[in-house]
Amino acid sequence: MAAQELARAGALVTVFEAKPTVARKFLMAGKSGLNLAKNETFDQQLPHYFEASAALAPMLAGFDAQAVMRWAEGLGQAVFTGSTQRVFPVAMKGSPLLRAWLRYLHQLGVTIKTNERWQGWQGTALAFGSGSVAPDVTVLALGGASWSRLGSDGAWVKTLGETGSALAPFQPTNAGLCRAWSAHMAPHLGAALKGVRLSAGDLSTRGEAVLSQSGLEGGGIYMLSRALRTGAPLRIDLLPDLDVTQIQNRLENVARKASTKVALRKALRLDPVKIAIAQECAHPLPRSARDLARALKALELDHQGLAPLDQAISVAGGVQFEALNDDLMLRNRPGVFCAGEMLDWEAPTGGYLITGCLATGRWAGRGAARYLGLEPAD
C-alpha cells in the first residue's frame, strides 16, 4: 500500500522482499477466508485498537473499513459482509486480490525484487546480499514476529534497536490458550464450545472456542489475548442467556434422583462438551441447584498461558509511536518510514489487522511522498 501511494504520487518505487514471492502471510490469511475489514463505522472500529487508537485515528479515518471495501472493489474484487459484519472478498481467498493488486502496481511502474533481504544500513544506503541501494526515501513494512516461515521473523528489531528507536517487546495476540486437559476430555478434543460467554480480566465476548490437543483455539479466545497473556484465568459462562435463578429453577424441576450429568443434559440441554468443561473446571460439581447454577455461570479454567509467539495470528509490540513523527517517519532516521504490523499496535481478529496494515501503509507512503516534495494523489 505504501508502494502504491508513493507510485501514485509520481515516485519511482522498488519493493524488496526477502522471500521468493511477496505477501505470503496475506495469502495464508486468505486460506480460511481473507477477512479484510469489519463493516463498522469509524467510531465503532477505533476502540478495537486499544492504546494505539489515538495514534492510529488519523490513519484509520483516512482509510476506514468502507475505504478498504472500495479499494478491493476498485481492483475488481467484489466483497461481501458476513453475518458478524466481517468483510471478505467473494472469492474468499487472497490470491485473486493479490494478483489484481500486483498488476495495478506494475501499471504504476512499481518494480518488485524478491529474494532480497534487507540487512541493515551501510551509511545511508540499504544493504542487501546483492549489494546496496541508496533511495531518497524508504518505507519499512517488515511485519511482526509470528509465522516466521512466511517471512516476518522480527529480525529487523536488532537493526532498528541500534538506531536507538523505542521498541516494545513482542507479545503474542490472537493466539490459542495452552491447557493440559485431564484424561476425561480426550473424547471432546476437536469439538467446539458454542453459545458461551468467555471472559478474562476486564475483557468479555460471546465467541466460540475449539478444544484442541494443546488447549483452546478460536475467535472467542483470541479476543481475550491481552488479558490471558497476563495470566488471568479464563472464565466461562455456559448459559449466558439465563440468570442463576432461572437455571436453579430448571434444575429443581428435574427428578431429584437424576444424576448431575443427566440434570445438566435434561434441564439445561447442555451438550457433552459443555458438561465435560463444567466437570473439568468445577469437579466435583455442587449438588445444590443454587450452587450448581452459580458454578455454571462462572467456571474458571486455569491455563499455562498463550501459545508461543511464532504460532500467534499477530503480535503486539514493535516500533513505538513515540519513535515516529506524525507521518510514521523514524525520528532517529529521517527519510525512513514504518508501517504495518511492525508498529506497536494490536487488534483482535475480525479484519482489524489487515485494515490497520493498509491504513498505516497508505499513511506512511503518503508521508514519504510529501518528504520527497511530491503531492499524494487523491
Ligand X SMILES: Cc1cc2nc3c(=O)[nH]c(=O)nc-3n(C[C@H](O)[C@H](O)[C@H](O)COP(=O)(O)OP(=O)(O)OC[C@H]3O[C@@H](n4cnc5c(N)ncnc54)[C@H](O)[C@@H]3O)c2cc1C
* Residue 143 in contact with ligand X, rule: CB under 6 A: yes
Q: How many CB atoms lie within 10 A of CB 98?
A: 19
The smaller minimum CB distance to ligand X, of residues 71 and 147, is found at 147
The smaller minimum CB distance to ligand X, of residues 18 and 359, is found at 18
* Residue 26 in contact with ligand X, rule: CB under 6 A: yes
In whole angstroms, the minimum distance from the beta carbon of 334 to ligand X comes to: 20
In whole angstroms, the minimum distance from the beta carbon of 7 to ligand X comes to: 17
| DSSP 8-state assignment for residue 206 | -
The smaller minimum CB distance to ligand X, of residues 92 and 285, is found at 92
* Residue 354 in contact with ligand X, rule: CB under 6 A: yes
* Residue 77 in contact with ligand X, rule: CB under 6 A: no
As to burial, measured by CB atoms within 10 angstroms (0-12 exposed, 13-18 middle, 19+ buried), residue 186 is exposed
The smaller minimum CB distance to ligand X, of residues 135 and 274, is found at 135
Rounded Cα–Cα distance for residues 337 and 162 (Å): 16
Helices (H), 206-288: 219-222, 225-228, 244-252, 260-268, 272-281
**Of 149-157, 210-218, 250-258, 294-302, which part binds ligand X (CB under 6 A)?**
149-157
| DSSP 8-state assignment for residue 213 | T
In whole angstroms, the minimum distance from the beta carbon of 65 to ligand X comes to: 11
* Residue 141 in contact with ligand X, rule: CB under 6 A: yes
What residue has cell string 532498528? Answer: 160
**Of 25-33, 95-103, 206-214, 257-265, which part binds ligand X (CB under 6 A)?**
25-33
* Residue 151 in contact with ligand X, rule: CB under 6 A: yes
**Of 27-35, 42-50, 197-205, 260-268, which part binds ligand X (CB under 6 A)?**
27-35
Report helix, strand or coil for 164: coil
Q: Residue 108 to residues 8, 58, 337: CA-CA distances in angstroms?
A: 7, 26, 21
In whole angstroms, the minimum distance from the beta carbon of 318 to ligand X comes to: 9
Q: Give residue 149's identity as a one-letter amino acid code.
A: R
* Residue 29 in contact with ligand X, rule: CB under 6 A: yes
* Residue 147 in contact with ligand X, rule: CB under 6 A: yes
The smaller minimum CB distance to ligand X, of residues 117 and 261, is found at 117
Q: List the interface residues with ligand X, window 186-245 (CB under 6 A).
A: none
DSSP-derived secondary structure for 15-63: EE-SSSSS-HHHHHHGGG----EE---HHHHGGGGGGGHHHHHHHHHHS
Q: List the interface residues with ligand X, window 319-348 (CB under 6 A).
A: 340-341
Among 9, 18, 234, 309, binds ligand X (CB under 6 A): 18
DSSP-derived secondary structure for 14-27: EEE-SSSSS-HHHH
In whole angstroms, the minimum distance from the beta carbon of 291 to ligand X comes to: 41
| DSSP 8-state assignment for residue 169 | E
If binding means CB under 6 A, how many residues of this protein chain bind ligand X? 28
Helices (H), the chain: 2-8, 24-29, 42-45, 53-62, 65-74, 95-107, 156-162, 219-222, 225-228, 244-252, 260-268, 272-281, 289-297, 352-371
Cβ contact 114:19 at 8 Å:
yes
Contact residues for ligand X, defined by CB under 6 A: 16-19, 24-26, 28-29, 34-35, 117-118, 141-143, 147, 151-152, 156, 313-314, 340-341, 351, 353-354, 357
